[in-house]
Amino acid sequence: MTTSPTTAIILGTGLGQLASEITDSYEFPYSEIPNFPVSTVEGHAGKLIFGKLGGVDIMAMEGRFHYYEGYNMKEVTFPIRVMYELGIKTLFVSNASGGMNPEFKIGDLMIITDHINFFPEHPLRGKNFPTGPRFPDMHETYDHALIKQAEDIAREKGIRVVHGVYMGVQGPTFETPAEYKMYHRMGADAVGMSTVPEVIVAHHCGIKTFGISIITDLGLEDTPVEVSHEEVQVAANNAQPLMTEIMREMIRRA
């Protein structure tokens, strides 16, 4: 089989189902790829899948690497370097996050319009890779045309979407009420433990990025609610069909 995808997707929380829709697939367990980290989180299998989705050649990452697992940023973002070397031009990502914008409801799909990098280690720290400049501009980290396309698709399909700034933090603790309040006041609408490192490296590689975050719990000012990994999974699974519908169509039009 030959495939030369220019589109990649990280099957984060809420997108696992898409993996089963990939046809003509060829799979590489991470454990068989030189230098690839191996994922440890429950519910995150680890393999690269090459195949077709809606007639489009794609490369999918099933299972991603989180900083809280103990990987350094070079490891967390290594798959993005591989994507670049393979000729990927567009990257779709998903994640789960805690909503801090009072307009948000659990189960909302938030189109990520921008991010705040609050990780303690920068993924581009160290010798600069020649894929991009030493000091990259970050004005349009999330591609405006792809955001517009997602809005069109959501409208056509009658799917409610919200927009917002994603704050990437190291975890693994969820936030204290004071932290949710601080992050919201810093300008973020949702907070989560992934995505930002991969998106920064993709951007530095000239790969266009689009991301959706499922709001799985709420950290609203003065109304703190407890949150557990299980609740996050349940909310994400419930939102999965709509998320999948948008992403499937985004890829079909890619």
Q: Which residues bind ligand HPA (CB under 6 A)?
A: 96-98, 174-175, 191-193, 216-217, 219, 227, 232
HSE-up (13 A, CA, CB side) for residue 180: 23
- Decide whether 51 or 168 has the Cβ nearer to ligand HPA: 168
Residue closer to ligand HPA by CB (options 189, 249) is 189
φ/ψ bin of 54: left (φ > 0), alpha (ψ from -120 to 50), beta (otherwise): left
Look at residues 188, 100, 149, 244 and name the one whose alpha carbon lies nearest to residue 196: 188
In whole angstroms, the minimum distance from the beta carbon of 97 to ligand HPA comes to 5
Is 49 or 218 the residue whose CB approaches ligand HPA more closely?
218
Nearer to ligand HPA, 3 or 233 (CB): 233
Q: Cβ 124 to ligand HPA, closest distance in Å? A: 23
Structure-token pair, residue 203: 């951007």
Q: Mind giving me the DSSP string for 134-200?
A: SS---TTSS-HHHHHHHHHHHHHHT--EEEEEEEE---SS---HHHHHHHHHTT-SEEESSSHHHHH
Q: 45, 115, 99: which is closest to 231 by C-alpha?
A: 99
Least distance between ligand HPA and beta carbon 184 (Å): 12
Q: Smallest gap, in angstroms, from Cβ of residue 147 to ligand HPA?
A: 22
Nearest distance from C-beta of residue 15 to ligand HPA, angstroms: 14
Question: What are the Cα distances from residue 236, in Å, to 20, 98, 227?
Answer: 17, 11, 13
Residue among 142 and 174 whose Cβ is closer to ligand HPA:
174
